[in-house]
Amino acid sequence: MLWCRCGVLLVLCVCPLACLIMSPCPPGCCCPRPGFLVLCESLGLQSLPRSVPLSTSALSVARNQLCNVDHLLRPFSGLQELSLSHNLLARFPRGLPPSLESLLLQENRITYITSGALRQLGNLTRLDLEDNRIRAIQPGALQALNKLQVLTLKGNKLTSLPLDLPPSLTHLDLSANCISVLDLPSLSALVNLQVLKINSNCLRSVPESAFDGLPRLRSVDLNNNLWVCECDILYLYRWLLSGRLKMATDLVCTEPVHLAHRLLLNLSVMAICPRVLNERTLQLNLSSDLERKLETLTVEPRGPNSPENQRLSKQISQETTAGLLSKDAPKTRLLLEHYSLESLTYEECLSLNKTVSPPHLKPTTSTPDVQQKCRDNITSRYPQINVTSAEGTRSLLSTNRDAPWPTPDPRPHTQQDSAVVVSLLAVLCVLVALLMLAVLLVLKKVLLRQQRVAPLDVGSG
C-alpha cells in the first residue's frame, strides 16, 4: 500500500514536467508539428507567449503588436526560422539565437541597422527587411553574414547601396528606395549574385562596367527609374542590346525633354549622344596625323635610333595613350564597332545638323590621288622647312588642311624695315660727327684768340 502511494506521488510530480517536455501548443496558437512548428499570428500579442516550447525550430509571431523582443528568444537554442513581421519593432532585435537561418522582419518600424546588430547571426541564409523605414546601414553591419543568400531591403529609404555586402548573396532586392547612384565597389564584390532588383529608385544612369564583374548575374530589374537618355547612359544601352540576361528592357527616358516618355531601346546612338560624331571625326583625324608622323620617321635620312626619331616616337606614343586610351576612348571604340553613319536616317541627320556645328564636320577620307596632291603641296609650298619634330609635322598638316591659299611670307617686310633702320642710324651718326667737328673748330678759334690777346697785355705792363 505504501508503494502505491509513492507511485501516485511520483506520477503527480513527473506529469507537469512531462507536459513541458512534450511541448504543448500555447493557447490560441496553431501547432501543425507540436514542439517544432508554432504559429502565433494575428492574436494581438504585446509580448511573446510564455508557453512556447524551447525545442521549437520554427516560430511565427507575425501580425501582432510586439514592440520589443530583445534577449527573449536566446533560450531557443535550436530555433532556425523566425518571423516577426507586421509588428511594431522600432529597432533590429537583439539577443537572437545564433542558430537562426531565416529571419523575417518586414513591415516594422526599423530605421537603422548598427554594425553589431547581426554579429552573432553567422548562420543566416535569408534576411527580409522589406517595408521598414531604414535610412542607413552602418558599414560592416552585414559583413559577418558569410552564408547570407537572400537579402530583401525593398520599400525602405536607402539612398545608396549598403557597404560591405557579403559575397555569398545570390538574390538582392533594393527596389522602391531612393538610390540614385550605384556604388561600383559594393556591386563588384557580389560575384555570386544571380538576381538584382533595383527598380523604382532614382537612378539616372549606370556607371561604366557596372555589371561586367558579375559573372553569374541572370536577371536584373531596372524599370521605373529617372533615366537621363544622354551620353552617360550608352553603357547601359549597349548592355541591354547584348541580350545576355533575362530582364525587362522597356526603360523609359525622363530627360532630356525632347526624349521624355520614349523607350530607351527605340532610340539611336546619335539621338542619345550626338557628340559621338565629333569623337569619330577626332579619332580619324588623330589616326591620319599619326600615320603622317610615322611617314616622317621613314622618310627622314637619319637612322632609326637617332635622337630626333626617338623623340618623335615617344611623342607619338604619348599622344596615342592620351587620345585613344582616354576615359571616353573605349566607349567611342565600342560604339564605332556596332554603329556607323550609314545607319543614320534623314530625320536624324537634320537633327544632328542642329546640334553639331559645321566647322567640326571635316572630311576624314580621301582618294590616293588627292592625298598625293596634298603631300606635293606640302613639299612645294614650304621647301625651306625641314620637318624634324612632331611640332613641325603638326604645323605643316594644319596649314595644308586649314589654309587653302598660300599666305605671304613676312620675312621680306622684316628685312626692308631693318634696312631703313640701319640707314637712319648711319645718317644720325654722320650728323653727330659733323656736329662734334664744328664744336671742335669753334673751341680752337677761341683758344687762338686768347693766345693773341695775352702778350699785348704783358707788354703794356
In three-state secondary structure terms, 119 is coil
- Confirm whether 381 is domain-assigned: yes
| pLDDT tens by residue, 110-146 | 999 998 889 899 999 999 999 999 999 999 899 889 9
Number of C-beta neighbours around residue 105 at 10 A: 23
The percentage of residues in the chain with a pLDDT greater than 70, rounded to a whole number, is: 61
Whether the Cβ atoms of residue 48 and residue 74 lie closer than 8 Å to each other: no
- Residue 302 in any domain: the answer is yes
The pTM assigned to this predicted structure is: 0.58
Among 164-173, 345-354, 359-368, the minimum mean pLDDT is found in 359-368
Q: What pLDDT is stored for residue 378 in this prediction? A: 40
Q: What is the per-residue pLDDT across 44-90, written as a single tens digit (0 to 9) for each?
A: 999 998 889 999 999 999 999 999 999 999 999 999 999 999 999 99
Is residue 361 in some structural domain? Answer: yes
Please state the rounded mean pLDDT for residues 174-200: 93
Q: What is the pLDDT of residues 231-287, one digit of tens each?
A: 999 999 998 888 767 666 689 999 999 999 999 989 889 899 888 766 555 555 555
pLDDT of 20: 39
Question: Is 313 among the domain residues?
Answer: yes
Q: Is 394 among the domain residues?
A: yes
Structural domain count of the chain: 1
Do the domain assignments include residue 181?
A: no
Please give the full DSSP string across 337-373, using - where no structure is assigned.
Answer: HH--GGG--HHHHHHHHHHS-GGG-------HHHHHH
The size of the chain, in residues, is 461
- Domain range for 383 is 275-401
Higher pLDDT, 295 or 7: 295
Residue 349 has pLDDT above 80, yes or no: no
Say if residues 137 and 162 touch (Cβ distance below 8 Å): yes
**∠ at Cα 26 (24, 31), nearest 5°?**
70
Percent of the chain with pLDDT over 90: 43
Cell for 177?
Answer: 528606395
- Whether 408 has a pLDDT exceeding 50, the answer reads no
pLDDT per residue over 246-261, tens digit each? 666 689 999 999 999 9
The answer to the question of residue 281 being in a domain is: yes
Question: What strands, in cross-sheet order, belong to the sheet with 195-197?
Answer: 30-33, 37-39, 58-60, 81-83, 102-104, 126-128, 150-152, 171-173, 195-197, 219-221, 246-247
Residue 356 belongs to some domain of the structure: yes
Grid coordinates given for 24: 504543448
